[in-house]
Structure 1
Amino acid sequence: MNTDHPYGYFLNSFDPTSETTGELTRLALADVQKSGLSPETLERAQVRLFKGNTALLKKRLGFAHVDGNPILRARLIEFPYLDGKGNAVRYEYKPFPSLHFKNEKEPRKYLQGRGDAPTPYILPDVWSAKDKGNKPLWITEGVKKTLKLVQHGRLTIGLSGVWNFRGGKDRPDQASKQLWRELEGFRWTGRTVYIGFDSDLLVNGQVRLALYELAFTLYQRGALLRFPLWHEAKGIDDFLVLQGDDPDQALTELEGTARDLEGLICPDHRNEIMGALYRTTGAQGVNAKVLIELTAKKLGLKAKDIKNDIAQRRYNELKQAVDNSLYPYFINDTGGVCRWRRERDGNEAYSELSNFTARIVEDVTIDTGLDLTRRFTIEGGTKDKTFPRASVRTTEFLNLNWVVNNWGNDAIIRAGQSTKDYLREFIQIHSNHNSVKRRTVYGHTGWRQVDGTRCYLMANGAIGADSVDVELPHEFLETGRYCLPKAPENEKGAFDACLSFLDIGKAEIFFPCLAYVFLSPLTGLLDPMPGFSLYCYGERDSLKTSVAVLMLAFFGRHGRAGLSNFDSTSNSLMHRSAILKDTLLLVDDLYPSSAAKEAQRKETVAQLLIRACGNRTGRGRLNPDSTEKVAPVPRGMVLLTGEELPGLQSTLSRLMTIEFSQGDINTKKLTEVQKQAGLFPHAMSSFILWLRDRITSIQADFETELYELRKGPVVENTSRKIPEHLAYLRFAWKMFLQWAVEKCGLKEDVRRECLDIGYEIFTRVADRHVCRIEGEDPVKMFFEIVGALLTQGKLRLDHKDSGYAGRLGGDSGELIGFFDDGHYYLLPVPLWHAVQTYLRYEGGHFPFSKTTLYETLERRGILETKGGKRDHTQRLGSKVVSVLKLKRGEKDVFRGIGDDAQE
């Protein structure tokens, strides 16, 4: 072809004279020439014939065939939509000949990309003037009309159709329902805008409606509107072509004779005008009132009548559009919740309750085994934004405070006294119209009957049952905590790892610790439940916490971070001990404190927790309505570590103490076993499955053996609690070894040997603990204090007969009583006062009351009574006094004091 063709850029190497393809090329060229578009205009707008392959066309349009026929059989004019920098953002094509689509009566003149929004056609020069309100703008239909006006020096925006100044009802972008975002970016206030639709607007009602709607929308944004009208041709491009040699003058005259908005409004167009007012007023802008008054004046109506008509139209459309199944509520087109209300005049009006909607998608029951609570999982959002799901307790649901707590300022509840009540009712009604998933989750570990099946709950589900949901409180949600494999692997290797645990150090430490670990899943199966806790006691750096964490490793992946400790409140620890049923809870670090109050607080926490675990009771409390709250009762085994022993004999009797000293642990071996800790959960999972199949027989065996197991060498010397603790450890050790025989291949003779070794070690540990308990005897402590004060000379005991000559204590000491060869005659008031004064200065506290002390002395045969009375009236010299009469001899409470003096 001739490369000097004036439309060379547009032709893009296609030859209009070609015998094979020239006809289609000539049709395309004739089309742009008919509109009077110059080569320069086309090149500036990058408009040319498409010269690409099928792949490129499909990339731009999303399709390359029409009803099976290749689009490239036609000649295509390419109209790129450019951004402000001249880069193409999408493409529109005009085919020659026009293409027929199935089920469409008319051939399609233009092709747009699949899924492309029909946004306005705006050239870079027009983009550059978007903020310049002093620059007039034209708005017309189609790309060719736009190019023609641009060719004559007019800044022009092209619409792909008279309605395509906005996105329509179904667009997700709310702003596009009034104007496309591209148009919203222009400054309209004070700008002269010529709306040049085709001349058939005077006879086409739909074109008039679109014209009025666009005009009213721009008017409310402050635009100065002009409406040029012509009759010689349909489109503005055709009109300018008909003007011959002087189209610029004709265009200037057309602008000069253009009507303003008041001149355009005509009573004959009332239906279109009212429809446009109804769609545009109230959407945006401040000129709606002026527009309504102007329209009322031109149509000969009252502004009030127009407002009522608009309101009625909106009401009618809304009633048809909304889902009446939620009546009196509905969801508006912005995603907010509205409510119909009856006005005094009998008409219905609506008010918005919120800018969002919400519904319950899950109704979850949380079963902790102690009580049942419920929560809702709620999803919500606006038309343009989906909120994250909110988990809301039912006790918090009614007040709707959870809305802001979960969704922040994006979720707005409108003002009003009853708004929250109405919105809450809507959420429940809306939820019932959709499927609400109902499920039960278990909020504890340990044994549980689920749908008739006995299973063991852990944080990752259940051992022995499928599809069981378990959710532990957030403090247990660290990855891997209290998680066991549902199908154990390498049971033999796991058992070998357990044996390695025994070799870490001193047998008196690791045998009881391992037995205690395997007692934990037996807790809820045995009746009565174990009534003691294991206390790892030792100085700092004795590695007691490292061993305790290794014990926790049998129940999942645990670390030192986040452990429970004695800085927590007793209520917190009680709650955790109730949640961790039939498993192990570690409470770490009962350490010494330099502050007396802090030391007393930790001692109180320890006392409450140890006693609660020993007695299997909780602290009772009342609800505001005076009904009793469900008390959290410890339901698992508690492992404690610390550098101080709790006080009180009765508290120590609810413990088994394991003493740690430096050098008791082989650190190298400890490190090796820590590397094998990943096998421990498999051992525990296998043990639990083994227990599950034998629960009935195990319970029967324990009931039969408990009496025999309680018998032991410590029974004669101390409280019956210690042999009972010993019985539980021995039974757990027996079950552990029996599991090893049946599941891990342990030989029977080895089992018997290990059983005897374990029993012997447990007995030694119990004997050692008995000594600690006896050392905490309050009676012994009381008279040790009195004896020390006598030795220091701060107190004195006078001989009943000889007085000064046989005195015990200091000559100037406070008199607390008398003695003879057979008895002590103690004065109750100064005796008690002396001990209390000493303890007060020492920062201590005597655990018994005066009455309890006397009763204990009486039970032990130390205090003599007469006729059920503890006080004896005794003449001492010239005085008759009331005294406590204590026996001497083998039970002499002051044995050894003053022996030298008496000799």
Structure 2
Amino acid sequence: MINIDAFLTLFKNVRPGGTGKWMACCPAHNDGQHQGDQSLSIALTGDKILLKCFAGCATPKIVETLGLTMSDLFIGEKKKDKQPPAAEARKKKKIAAIYTYHDVNNKAVFEVVRYEPKSFSQRRPDGQGGYINNLNGIERVIYRLPLITAAIQRGEVIYHVEGERDAGNLVKLGLEATTSPQGAGNWKPAMAEYYTGAGTVVIIPDKDPAGRAYAADVASNVFPRAKHIKIIELPGEGNKDASDWIAAGGTREKLEELVKFAPEYRPPAGPPEEIDYDVIRGLLKKESDGQYTIINGKFNKIIHTREGETVELPLCNFVARVTEDILKDNGAARERFLRVQGRINGSHLAHVTVPDLHFDNMNWVRKAWGVKAQTEKSIDKVERHLAQCIIKSSGKVPEHTIYTHTGWRDIDGQMVYLSGSGATGRPEMEVELPPRLARYKLPQPDGDAKEAVSNSMDLLSIADMRVTLPTFIMPWLAVLNVFEDMAFTVWYVGRSGSLKSVMTALALSFFGNFTHKSLPVNWFGTRTELEKLSFHAKDILFAIDDYAPPANPAEARELTRTVEYILRAYGNRQGKVRANPDMTSQETYFPRGLLVTSGEQLPPPGVSRSARILPVPISIDDFYQDGKDNYYLLTQAQKDRRYYPVAMAHFIRWIQANWKAVDDKLHKYYERYSLEANKKDVHLRLIETICLMQAGFEIFLDFAADHGAIKSADIGGHLQMSWEIFNGLLKYQSTRITSERPGERFIEVIKSLLSSGKVIFRSRNEAGYWKPEEAGPGQAIIGWDDIDAYNNDGEGIGIIYLNPEEAFSVVFKHCMSIGEFYGHTKEATWDDMNSLNYLEDTGEEGSRSVLKKKMIGNIRKRLLWLKRNVIYDTNEF
């Protein structure tokens, strides 16, 4: 003999299939061993366990495989020769508690009696002051029904537990709790009606297989009737149920905290429906006008010969039908998929999802179902006929849409925000994200918004605000991307151990459960992978971690190209245009969110690329204050990150309710800060970046004030502080960009090569002739130094006539030798030197070149006329 809980532990992938019923993988044959592959039905009927394998395995074979005997399927106690009557047995037990169940009119309808040692019985009033010890003919109701009905009307959370004692202990905590009578295996679906109109129902099962199955039964029946359902298992190794957890120190506050961050319940896909051959055969015959049929579980083509005979030609050795028509929508294009169910030799074939584009060629059959599923060659174009059979056997196929990206979408005239857990305000919507984006899951906007926002704002105080402010503001900005493209990248730069990845993870925690070990991807992902992930991560903060150029020069150059490609894509909101073999355009993937990344260094110089980056220098010293470390604040922030998605969910709902106002405010704030910004000697892209960040921060402060997390009077102080910090970051990056200008970098390298003796200039002798200097080993002559040259006004200024080809060659080679790619053309370098006012004179009027002719000896050359003090710092200019 064995009890049902112990029996269920012998199987793999057990899932509930109804009250007292389960589905599991059959141990007597190869059953796939995955969810959705179960073919064994387990049912508890009275004191018997019934087994049925849909693949045809006999019950004795299944029992033998488990190492049991058939008698083990009887779970009742063996009858003894002399068993005392029930009444006499109860006399030996002590009544520990009596739990009375009432109907909707508050009339007592039956009682559950608990005894010590632990056992239970049920009884009903006999109308004469006594009891009848059974519930025959009595409608089952839930415990404390009148009180639960009133609590639902008040909008309170309802807790459903396994047992009256657990319910009573939760009531002592001030919560509304209930249960159903007669234990885990006796839930009646009709009892779900009592939950109609409930806001949130929290189910707390006992921590055993029967308890989990019970919770699944209750949830699946209550699901259509309650707005929100959550199932939670209480923590603690020794805590089997709610009473154990409370006895171990569990409180109402702790329980409500667990509920707040528990995921929403979603009903699982049911077991595969049986394929009724007669139904499908009739449907196929009708839809195909008698061209096809099913014989012995196989599709056949009906041929009428000239002689008047009818011949059935088998097309395959299985039958199949389409069970779902799925439209996957990535926000730019839609792709259709067909969900197919099959059956062969009486056994289920695994469900397979097939792209509609490839359905007709039937190549997916072998790939999905292996060699056991075969197509015949009895007729030409058998694949086309087989595809027709499957479609025409399917009848009316349900359609549904799966969204494959995050962020905002207009669906049925309503703006909703998508994440891996569905849509804010529409949890029933299905979202399927790439695996690397699977952690992006937002809760519904429940719970205390003020508490969540206040706790999230504590992130600002864990380190220097120069580091924490960008960390904090990025998530809110990403959600505002729908109103204005956040076309820039935030880059944490600092030595190893400076907590770059930790800060990145805290920023991402506003969208799900992230740690520094679970960031989506790093820079060593393929360019195509990074491109596609950036496309699916719409209106959200996406992270690419760990920029670390390898020592191998070729690999370092490839990484640089990848970084430049992605940064430009985010900055320009453009993707690579690709073509199919027939020259039609492929789908273009372009970034649709905000990017944060990190590295021990910034990418190689490049003015345009650098202007798309807002670097945030970070060091371990940023986490010290007044000589003391703030690590305890960082630890607290990591604990409090569970509040972050809740705050974000409320922010999204606030935007939904104030859509036009938020749009107008963001642009109004941005324009105001653009007028205030100091634009002198600053790249305009950087101005745009800090103004967007400041405007986004002000939008957040409006939201926080609306929810009571801050006072409206304090907004001005927050904005003054943030504007100073953003301008400091602007100044830091502007200085860096100036040093990266091609003209600046070129002159810097020339000076370095001169000081090391690797390049030299020819000079004039006392008679005014050019000295015939010769280049020594490892040297290059790159121009002529005329210290006595005069300008057009007759002033002696000195000019260096730079040989453009030689000079550019040595600069380019030197940069390569130190692992740096000088990514500018000659023309761009000369033009930048001219804009920096480094050239004394330029080409003839009307010429597009800045090179000017100069007679050197007997040869007229086109040279760069460089002011001598640019190289030798002899005068100001």
- What TM-score do the two structures reach when normalised by structure 2? 0.62
- Alpha carbons 2:449, 2:650 under 8 Å: kept: yes
Task: Give the superposition deviation at 1:802.
Answer: 4.3
3-state SS of 1:386 partner: strand
Match for residue 498 of structure 2? 542
String of CA shifts for 1:38-95, please: whole Å, max 9, x gaps: xxxxxxxxxxxxxxxxxxxx999x9xxxxxxxxxxxxxxxxxxxx9xxx999xxxxxx
Instruction: Decide which of 828, 853, 873 is 1:873's aligned counterpart.
Output: 853
Q: Does 2:704 align with 1:727?
A: no
Match for residue 204 of structure 2? none
Task: Give the superposition deviation at 1:898.
Answer: 13
Change (3 A) 1:682 1:842: same
Counterpart residue type for residue 855 of structure 2:
R
Aligned-CA RMSD value: 3.0
Instruction: Decide which of 382, 399, 419 is 1:419's aligned counterpart.
Output: 382
3-state SS of 1:375 partner: strand
Counterpart residue type for residue 573 of structure 2:
R
Task: Give the superposition deviation at 1:328.
Answer: 4.1
Counterpart residue type for residue 542 of structure 1:
S
Match for residue 447 of structure 2? 489
Match for residue 566 of structure 1? 523
Counterpart residue type for residue 580 of structure 2:
N
Runs of 5+ unmatched residues, structure 2: 1-45, 51-63, 72-277, 624-629, 788-796
Identity of aligned residues (%): 25
Distance in 1, Cα, partners of 2:806 & 2:684: 36
Instruction: Decide which of 526, 531, 546 is 1:589's aligned counterpart.
Output: 546
Q: How does 1:282-321 map to 2 (within 5 A)?
A: none
Q: Does 2:783 align with 1:817?
A: yes
Distance in 1, Cα, partners of 2:319 & 2:325: 18
3-state SS of 1:715 partner: coil
Match for residue 622 of structure 1? 579
Match for residue 696 of structure 1? 660
Distance in 2, Cα, partners of 1:716 & 1:540: 35
Runs of 4 or more, structure 1, over 6 Å off, are 317-323, 803-811
Task: Give the superposition deviation at 1:344.
Answer: 4.5
Task: Give the superposition deviation at 1:725.
Answer: 0.2
Match for residue 641 of structure 1? 598
Runs of 5+ unmatched residues, structure 1: 1-57, 63-82, 90-316
Match for residue 857 of structure 1? 833
Change (3 A) 1:805 1:794: farther
Instruction: Decide which of 736, 744, 750 is 1:780's aligned counterpart.
Output: 744
Task: Give the superposition deviation at 1:875.
Answer: 2.8
Distance in 2, Cα, partners of 1:684 & 1:319: 49
Q: Does 2:621 align with 1:663?
A: yes
Change (3 A) 1:810 1:513: farther
3-state SS of 2:622 partner: coil
Task: Give the superposition deviation at 1:633.
Answer: 1.5
Q: How does 1:218-257 map to 2 (within 5 A)?
A: none
Counterpart residue type for residue 474 of structure 1:
P
Change (3 A) 1:794 1:803: farther
Distance in 2, Cα, partners of 1:500 & 1:794: 55
Instruction: Decide which of 433, 447, 458 is 1:500's aligned counterpart.
Output: 458
Distance in 1, Cα, partners of 2:823 & 2:47: 87
Distance in 2, Cα, partners of 1:88 & 1:836: 84
Counterpart residue type for residue 809 of structure 2:
H
String of CA shifts for 1:410-430, please: whole Å, max 9, x gaps: 322223442222111111111
Task: Give the superposition deviation at 1:580.
Answer: 1.0
Distance in 2, Cα, partners of 1:334 & 1:582: 54
3-state SS of 2:376 partner: coil
3-state SS of 2:642 partner: helix
- Alpha carbons 1:797, 1:807 under 8 Å: kept: no
3-state SS of 1:638 partner: strand
Say which is worse superposed, 388-397 or 678-687, in terms of deviation: 388-397
3-state SS of 2:301 partner: strand
Distance in 2, Cα, partners of 1:582 & 1:833: 45
Match for residue 442 of structure 1? 403
Match for residue 567 of structure 2? 610
String of CA shifts for 1:809-845, please: whole Å, max 9, x gaps: 9974532222333422112222222223323433432
Instruction: Decide which of 391, 394, 419 is 1:458's aligned counterpart.
Output: 419
String of CA shifts for 1:646-699, please: whole Å, max 9, x gaps: 121211100111111123233332221111111100110111111122221222
Distance in 2, Cα, partners of 1:533 & 1:319: 56
String of CA shifts for 1:594-645, please: whole Å, max 9, x gaps: 1112211211111111111011111111122212222111111111111221
Change (3 A) 1:578 1:808: farther
Match for residue 818 of structure 2? 842
Say which is worse superposed, 580-589 or 493-502, in terms of deviation: 493-502
Match for residue 214 of structure 1? none
Distance in 2, Cα, partners of 1:323 & 1:857: 78
Distance in 1, Cα, partners of 2:587 & 2:429: 24
Distance in 1, Cα, partners of 2:858 & 2:562: 52
How many residues get paired? Answer: 581
Distance in 2, Cα, partners of 1:501 & 1:770: 27
Say which is worse superposed, 397-406 or 364-373, in terms of deviation: 397-406
3-state SS of 2:324 partner: strand
- Alpha carbons 1:809, 1:898 under 8 Å: kept: no
Task: Give the superposition deviation at 1:873.
Answer: 2.5
Instruction: Decide which of 866, 871, 876 is 1:894's aligned counterpart.
Output: 871
Instruction: Decide which of 487, 500, 503 is 1:531's aligned counterpart.
Output: 487
Match for residue 809 of structure 2? 833
Counterpart residue type for residue 549 of structure 1:
A
Change (3 A) 1:385 1:789: same
String of CA shifts for 1:770-820, please: whole Å, max 9, x gaps: 122222222111111111111122222234564899999997453222233
Match for residue 55 of structure 1? none
String of CA shifts for 1:188-242, please: whole Å, max 9, x gaps: xxxxxxxxxxxxxxxxxxxxxxxxxxxxxxxxxxxxxxxxxxxxxxxxxxxxxxx
3-state SS of 1:874 partner: strand
Q: Does 2:290 align with 1:324?
A: no
Q: Does 2:865 align with 1:885?
A: yes
Distance in 1, Cα, partners of 2:404 & 2:280: 46
Say which is worse superposed, 803-812 or 879-888, in terms of deviation: 803-812
- Alpha carbons 1:458, 1:484 under 8 Å: kept: yes
String of CA shifts for 1:136-195, please: whole Å, max 9, x gaps: xxxxxxxxxxxxxxxxxxxxxxxxxxxxxxxxxxxxxxxxxxxxxxxxxxxxxxxxxxxx
- Alpha carbons 2:338, 2:355 under 8 Å: kept: yes
Say which is worse superposed, 661-670 or 551-560, in terms of deviation: 661-670
Distance in 2, Cα, partners of 1:486 & 1:589: 32
Change (3 A) 1:802 1:354: farther
Distance in 1, Cα, partners of 2:293 & 2:466: 71
- Alpha carbons 2:299, 2:316 under 8 Å: kept: yes
Q: Does 2:300 align with 1:338?
A: yes
Task: Give the superposition deviation at 1:450.
Answer: 0.5
Instruction: Decide which of 701, 707, 710 is 2:674's aligned counterpart.
Output: 710
Task: Give the superposition deviation at 1:737.
Answer: 0.9
Distance in 2, Cα, partners of 1:543 & 1:344: 82
Task: Give the superposition deviation at 1:474.
Answer: 3.1
Distance in 1, Cα, partners of 2:756 & 2:431: 63
Pick the structure with greater CA Rg: 1
Q: Does 2:351 align with 1:389?
A: yes
Match for residue 713 of structure 2? 749
- What TM-score do the two structures reach when normalised by structure 1? 0.61
- Alpha carbons 2:577, 2:585 under 8 Å: kept: yes
Report which of the two has the higher share of helix: 1
- Alpha carbons 1:459, 1:471 under 8 Å: kept: yes
Distance in 2, Cα, partners of 1:612 & 1:88: 67
